[in-house]
């Protein structure tokens, strides 16, 4: 058989912790054990009926199966409407573009911004895809630490000047997965001034602005003066509207970045499937009642899960926002992965080790709020009955 040589980049990829957790889950299921999977943030709520009806109607038109080539004008107008209504931000049509979900958009935007050897800055701990945006572009990935002691905000003044001179863009995200905190307005004001001073582009991932628990509403990076001068924001429909499989998000903000990114993406795709665009229009322009009701349900789950664990001896803090919970592992475990594996074996509860999100995540676990309150009560009971928390004391 011919020997095939693969790229250094793809040879550096690993199957990842989620694949290992899934393998273990399948083992437990074969043994007939109960499994509670809180490892992956896939919403268990359905899309609103008016969104599904818009998709269904669009799917009935044969013309909608052709190449889209570009965003529908109605879709661009819908994004403008949503940002004006929700965030008080005025967007021009050349400041808006769609992508196949923030995951795809973030993975490719580095190709439009970086040359091989440039540097990007990503949070540690942070969502793994952030680093991939640099890897795909051949850039050097540097991390900035965010710690519980500093409310998981970056110490902008502490980033070495030598790193800043080389940095092309910096990825920021609040409410932040996995650490589940929001940033104060004062942080964004400082961030924009910081970006201007050091000539750094800011990419803000705004996936969870509709899932907030400890303030009135999530904010947009673009709500702050000067933001459009220094960067763009990724706005996803996956978590607010439960359209994860539809794969549609938007990059909005700096018109120059949007223009160049559109040119790049025109080389690799033919536009978002038109029925998905019509579903997005319905989501962005339709009523928000179900979004708020869903937020309240996430908040109730947050209280039930965190409060339940505190009652049985695990000091898990309530989240500020996102559909996740971030928790320190109990004493006595050498790593978050070891704790996760023992927790799964003894209780059937699957959570994600914090080390999957960078070195700074070691000693923590992430749990997704994808079980209802009745199921959460079962989880708390199973963990308590296992004795795993008592064993760790």
Whole-angstrom Cα Rg for the chain: 21
Residue 384 and residue 311: Cα distance in Å, rounded? Answer: 10
Over residues 118-128, the mean pLDDT reads: 97
pLDDT band at 30 (very low <50, low <70, confident <90, very high): confident
What CA–CA distances, in Å, run from 297 to 45, 286, 290, 293? 10, 20, 10, 6
Closest CA to 209 of 226, 221, 225, 201: 221
For residue 14, pLDDT over 80 is answered with no
The model's pLDDT over 325-350, given as tens digits with 9 standing for 90+, comes to 999 999 999 999 999 999 999 999 99
The CATH class of the 14-43+289-392 domain is alpha beta
- Main-chain phi, psi angles of 299, to 5 degrees: -65, -40
Please determine, for residue 217, whether its predicted confidence score (pLDDT) is greater than 80: no
Instruction: Return the higher-pLDDT residue of 127 and 218.
Output: 127
pTM of the entire structure? 0.95
Which residues are registered as beta bridge partners of 204?
172, 233
Q: Provide the CA 258 distance to its chain's centre, in angstroms.
A: 20
The whole-number average pLDDT for the span 36-41 is 92
Neighbours of 94 (CB within 10 A): 12
Residue 180 falls in which region: left (phi positive, over 0), alpha (psi -120 to 50) or beta: left
What angle do helix axes 128-136 and 101-113 make, rounded to 10 degrees? 40
State the DSSP code for 73.
H
Mean pLDDT of 5-19: 78
| Spatial distance between the Cα atoms of 388 and 393, rounded to a whole number of angstroms | 9
**Separation CA 332–CA 76 (nearest Å):** 53
Q: What percent of the chain has pLDDT over 70?
A: 98
Beta bridge partners of 353: 365
C-alpha 337 chain-centroid distance? 21
pLDDT band per the 50, 70, 90 thresholds, residue 323: very high
Burial 125-135 (b: 16+ CB within 10 A, else e): bbbebbbbbbb
Work out the average pLDDT over 140-151: 96
Question: Where in the chain do CATH 3.40.640.10 domains reside?
Answer: 49-285
The yes-or-no verdict on residue 65 having pLDDT over 70 is yes
| pLDDT band, residue 215 (cuts 50/70/90) | low
Q: Could you tell me the sign of the dihedral formed by the alpha carbons of 113, 118, 121, 124, in that order? A: positive
Instruction: Tell me what pLDDT residue 106 has.
Output: 96
**Range(s) within the chain of domains with CATH label 3.90.1150.10:** 14-43+289-392
Q: Which fold has domain 49-285?
A: 3.40.640
For the chain, give the mean pLDDT. Answer: 94
* Average pLDDT for 122-143: 95
**Residue 159 pLDDT exceeds 90:** yes
* Least confident window among 80-94, 124-138, 208-222: 208-222
pLDDT value for 392? 64
**How large is the angle between the packed helices 73-87 and 274-285, nearest 10 degrees?**
30
Residue that is written with structure tokens 């002691």 in the block: 149
- 246 in Cβ contact with 100 (< 8 Å): no
Give the side-chain half-sphere CA count within 13 A for 190.
11
Question: Which token pair is 82?
Answer: 């949503």
313: left (phi over 0), alpha (psi -120 to 50) or beta: left
Instruction: Label residue 189 by pLDDT band (50, 70, 90).
Output: very high
Exposed, middle or buried: residue 346 (CB in 10 Å: 0-12, 13-18, 19+)? middle
How many contiguous H segments (helices) and E segments (strands) does the chain have? Answer: 16, 12
In eight-state DSSP terms, residue 63 is G
Output the pLDDT for position 195.
98
């Amino acid at each position: 058989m011919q020997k095939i040589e693969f790229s250094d980049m793809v040879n550096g990829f690993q199957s990842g912790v989620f694949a290992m957790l899934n393998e273990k889950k399948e083992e437990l299921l074969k043994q007939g054990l109960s499994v509670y999977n809180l490892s992956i943030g896939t919403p268990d709520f359905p899309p609103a009926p008016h969104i599904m009806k818009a998709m269904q109607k669009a799917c009935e038109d044969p013309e909608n199966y052709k190449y889209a080539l570009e965003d529908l004008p109605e879709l661009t107008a819908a994004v403008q409407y949503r940002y004006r209504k929700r965030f008080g931000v005025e967007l021009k049509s050349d400041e808006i573009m769609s992508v196949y979900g923030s995951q795809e958009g973030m993975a490719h935007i580095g190709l439009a911004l970086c040359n091989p050897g440039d540097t990007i800055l990503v949070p540690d701990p942070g969502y793994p895809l952030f680093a991939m945006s640099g890897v795909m572009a051949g850039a050097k990935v540097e991390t900035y630490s965010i710690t519980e002691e500093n409310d998981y905000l970056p110490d902008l003044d502490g980033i070495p000047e030598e790193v800043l001179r080389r940095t092309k863009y910096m990825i920021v995200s609040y409410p932040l997965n996995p650490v589940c905190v929001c940033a104060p307005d004062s942080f964004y004001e400082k961030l924009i001034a910081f970006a201007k001073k050091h000539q750094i582009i800011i990419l803000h991932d705004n996936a969870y602005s509709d899932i907030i628990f400890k303030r009135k509403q999530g904010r947009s990076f673009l709500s702050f003066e000067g933001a459009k001068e220094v960067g763009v924001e990724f706005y996803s429909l996956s978590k607010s509207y439960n359209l994860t499989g539809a794969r549609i998000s938007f990059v909005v903000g700096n018109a120059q970045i949007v223009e160049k990114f559109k040119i790049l993406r025109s080389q690799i795709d033919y536009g978002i499937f038109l029925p998905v665009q019509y579903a997005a229009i319905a989501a962005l322009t339709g009523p928000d009642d179900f979004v708020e009701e869903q937020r309240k349900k996430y908040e109730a789950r947050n209280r039930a899960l965190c409060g339940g664990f505190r009652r049985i001896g695990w000091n898990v803090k309530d989240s500020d926002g996102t559909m996740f919970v971030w928790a320190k592992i109990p004493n006595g475990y050498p790593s978050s992965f070891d704790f996760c594996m023992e927790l799964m074996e003894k209780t059937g509860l699957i959570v994600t080790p914090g080390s999957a999100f960078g070195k700074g995540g070691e000693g923590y676990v992430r749990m997704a709020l994808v079980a209802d309150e009745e199921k959460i009560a079962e989880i708390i009971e199973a963990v308590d009955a296992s004795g795993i928390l008592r064993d760790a004391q």
